[in-house]
Structure 1
Amino acid sequence: MKIFDEIESEVQSYARSFPRVFNRAKGELMWDEEGNQYLDFLAGAGTLNYGHNNPLFKQVLQDYIQSDGITHGLDMHTKAKGEFLQALNDKILKPRNMEYVVQFTGPTGTNAVEAAMKIARNVTGQQNIVTFTNGFHGVSLGSLAATGNSHHRDAAGVSLNGTHRMPYDNYLGKNIDTTEYLDKVLADSSSGINSPAAIIVETVQGEGGINAASIEWLRNLQAVCKKHGLLFIVDDIQAGCGRTGNFFSFEEAGIEPDIITLSKSLSGYGLPFALVLMKPELDQWKPGEHNGTFRGNNLAFVTAKAAIDHYWSDDNFSREIKRKGKYISERLGSIVSQYGEGNFTTKGRGMFQGIDCVSGELAEKITKLAFKQGLIIETSGADDQIVKLLCPLVITDQNLKKGIDIIESAIREVCAGEQDIPEERVYFEAC
């Protein structure tokens, strides 16, 4: 650990919560250098939906590298890119009657968001983007302006502009439809809200606290966009690629975004990869107007195609996610009913769920104790008050149960007042 203390920046975050040197991972399991085994309910913050070192993807990647396949190609045409596009079109877009143009951006989610907001502004001629309370869209300046979290916003060092903040679903209470407020201010020339270019929204706010918008709210939001001529952008970077049960998190609502951003688990293997899907009429870029040196990550194209081919050629995988999501809901509901003196609540949908512990301090104690029992799990929300489950979608039933058992054990112990856990009390499972 000495080298990390000596020269790595203080900006490191997850390393503080999980102070171990990890050196091996497989599926939903990770091991540190001492051979201790952990269940991974963080999964690269949603990047490893298909698990660590998925053997199906690893083999095709090894074969591709062994054959001297193109690794880096800027935005030139390559076989790997063409095969990915074909798989995406044939197995994801066409079966859903989705006609979109694909833009390859820099390989991070924030770059995809930057591109989406930029094209919306260029097409409409308007500057501002409507964003929502507790939203998280990245930490580059444009995306950060759309992000609500003050911890990240305060680090910008400059004024963040170009956005209008609106209340997300349930932000003002369960009986208030905040799309009605949005409709009102857009219709009122004296509201102080200039005609925006677009709205950008997460159907489930991951970093914002596992806030899941209702189906009705999403449909109403799309209707407001159409009424006022706003482009509708869905940021599906963390909630997409199956996390909520379908490939896209908005499918259940039956809505049709104008622009969609994807990243995180898109590559399938944890390789950097991001893209923007846009309606064909919106593709008004001039050549090279939005670019990036690493927008042609061919290794990611190879594994992304493998992920689509194996998991999304039919609806079997989707049904499995929904089955596991139902089990998670039942278990978390039971835990909430037993602990927290009626103050705990469940949040989210599919395999994108969590427990609101009200207090960030309490949630931190729970996740720290869970880590001592061999479970890697993080918190989210404005005050880090949500214990956030983000395990790989391919997790076995046995390990899903085991992970939730650890969460329940940690909650039971913390709620019972046994909060000062000696450092030597570690429940690691040997490799």
Structure 2
Amino acid sequence: MEALMFKKPGMNIIEELESEVRSYCRSFPTIFTQAYNYILRNIDGREYIDFFAGAGALNYGHNNPKLKKKLIDYMMNDGITHSLDMATSAKANFLAQFNEVILKPRGLKYKVMFPGPTGSNSVESALKLARKVKNRKTIMSFTNAFHGMTLGSLAVTGNKFKRDGAGVPLEHTVFVPFDNYYGDEVDTVDYIAKLLNDKGSGISVPAAIILETVQGEGGINVADYDWLRRIAELCQRQDILLIVDDVQAGCGRTGTFFSFEEAGIEPDIVCLSKSIGGYGLPMAITLIKPELDIWKPGEHNGTFRGNNLAFITAAEALTYWENDELSTSVNSHGRTVRLFLEDLARKYPEMKGEVRGRGLMQGIAFGTDGLADQVCRVAFELGLIMETSGADKEVVKIMPPLTIDNEGLMRGLRILADSVEACSNN
């Protein structure tokens, strides 16, 4: 019998066989084959600068050599790959490293839960535990929040398009305005406190408040540090747990390992995923204050919560946090991006650009409908990968790997500038 002969697959096979739910391959319509640090290559050998970084899952770049070596060595030695939540050397080493490098230096004493390998898994476990601890059903979330696509995490997500996909009522959540949602004239912490203290507001005291310090998918909306401190104080006064969803903004994206460090707060529960695995391998953890760890064994579990390959790369990724070198670089690059974007907004005032963000999680919100989408399409044609964010896709989002060098950063920013210029001439 002759061997079957297959021609090299192209985009047509994606369009023919993959579900209509596919998204990013519509924005970036090419077949990618290779990647290293901040460079992606397609099937034709064309290079693209990556200002997307796996939606924040590749903070240490594509195929980071330090992480790759550890992973290959582990696999070649027949290391455990799948283990549910059994004890393995890979898990033990990650926990020890995380405690020594991240928790102890920051004076934190969280217990580490492995809820399943995605950000939604982490959020689901946080919500479930908060309700269990406080014996209350309601969770308070914020306008423009994004916390995941499973029903529990979707219930605390603000985006109408995402919520409409649920097909069932999304209940036991109350939404309140994020920092600066109404502009400078409305103090939203006072607003929330008024709702909680007023017996006629119709708002019961929730089990928890969940928030992102920088709303990534919601439009790069940044919470002021003082606002975060006051929310934390409100939670303490009202006996409400504070959950920080650091899935995208964490692991150094804003310049510190946790995005809330500069605010000086200590959340009751912290959700981490995306870049916690270091290499883009699925992994998530939920950090819990010890007194809240009231789970019964097996009460929340999952088949793939023991991704040992991710434990290996996650532990190695933590070596970047043994000193301040990466953090300093992120803050320096962040200042470069900020100045560049502010100059771009001044140069094209007709686009009504508003610069937002922190560290290497920044962007421009355009006041012209459809402009952000158009800029990202032109940028892709010119060799730059970026995505939009915001309820109306109004924000061009800049999130390169944290390991990008100055040359790569400036190349990408120049392509962005060329893309804005091209769109301004249309």
Q: Same fold (TM over 0.5)?
A: yes
Greater shift, 393-402 or 360-369, is seen at 360-369
Query: In structure 1, what is the Cα distance between the partners aligned to 2:352 and 2:405?
Result: 31
Aligned to 2:146: 136
* Count of residues in Structure 1 that have an aligned counterpart in Structure 2: 416
Contact 2:49/2:383 (8 A) holds in 1: yes
- What displacement does 1:315 show? 1.3
Give runs of aligned pairs for residues 110-129 of structure 1, distance below 5 A: 110-129=120-139
Q: Are 1:152 and 2:156 counterparts?
A: no
Query: In structure 1, what is the Cα distance between the partners aligned to 2:208 and 2:373?
Result: 36
- What displacement does 1:416 show? 2.1
Residue 179 of structure 1 aligns to a residue whose secondary structure is helix
Query: In structure 1, what is the Cα distance between the partners aligned to 2:63 and 2:55?
Result: 16
- What displacement does 1:316 show? 1.5
Q: Provide Cα deviations, 1:149-205, integer angstroms capped at 9, x if missing partner.
A: 011100100000011100000001123220111111111121101121000000000
What stretches of structure 1 of length at least 5 have no aligned partner?
A: 418-431
- What displacement does 1:328 show? 0.6
Aligned to 2:103: 93
Aligned to 2:174: 164
What stretches of structure 2 of length at least 5 have no aligned partner?
A: 1-10
Residue 372 of structure 1 aligns to a residue whose secondary structure is helix
Residue 180 of structure 1 aligns to a residue whose secondary structure is helix
1:330 to 331, 335, 339: 339
Question: RMSD between aligned alpha carbons?
Answer: 0.8
Aligned to 1:373: 382
Residue 296 of structure 2 aligns to a residue whose secondary structure is coil
Residue 388 of structure 1 aligns to a residue whose secondary structure is strand
Greater shift, 337-346 or 390-399, is seen at 337-346
Q: Partner letter of residue 171 of structure 1?
A: Y
Q: Are 1:25 and 2:35 counterparts?
A: yes
Contact 1:340/1:357 (8 A) holds in 2: no
Contact 1:340/1:415 (8 A) holds in 2: no
Give runs of aligned pairs for residues 33-112 of structure 1, distance below 5 A: 33-112=43-122
- What displacement does 1:341 show? 2.2
Aligned to 1:348: 357
Residue 370 of structure 2 aligns to a residue whose secondary structure is helix
Contact 1:359/1:383 (8 A) holds in 2: no
Query: In structure 2, what is the Cα distance between the partners aligned to 1:371 and 1:231?
Result: 42
Aligned to 1:429: none
Query: In structure 2, what is the Cα distance between the partners aligned to 1:174 and 1:38?
Result: 39
Q: Partner letter of residue 283 of structure 1?
A: D
Q: Partner letter of residue 245 of structure 2?
A: D
Aligned to 2:206: 196
Q: Are 1:404 and 2:413 counterparts?
A: yes
2:423 to 402, 405, 414: 414
Name the TM-score, length of structure 2 as normaliser: 0.97
Q: Provide Cα deviations, 1:6-61, integer angstroms capped at 9, x if missing partner.
A: 21100000000100000100000000101111001111000000000000000000
- What displacement does 1:3 show? 1.6
Q: Are 1:389 and 2:392 counterparts?
A: no
Aligned to 1:282: 292
- What displacement does 1:290 show? 0.5
Give the direction of change, closer, same or farther, for the CA distance of 1:326–1:18 in structure 2 (3 Å limit).
same
- What displacement does 1:360 show? 4.3
Give the direction of change, closer, same or farther, for the CA distance of 1:237–1:360 in structure 2 (3 Å limit).
farther
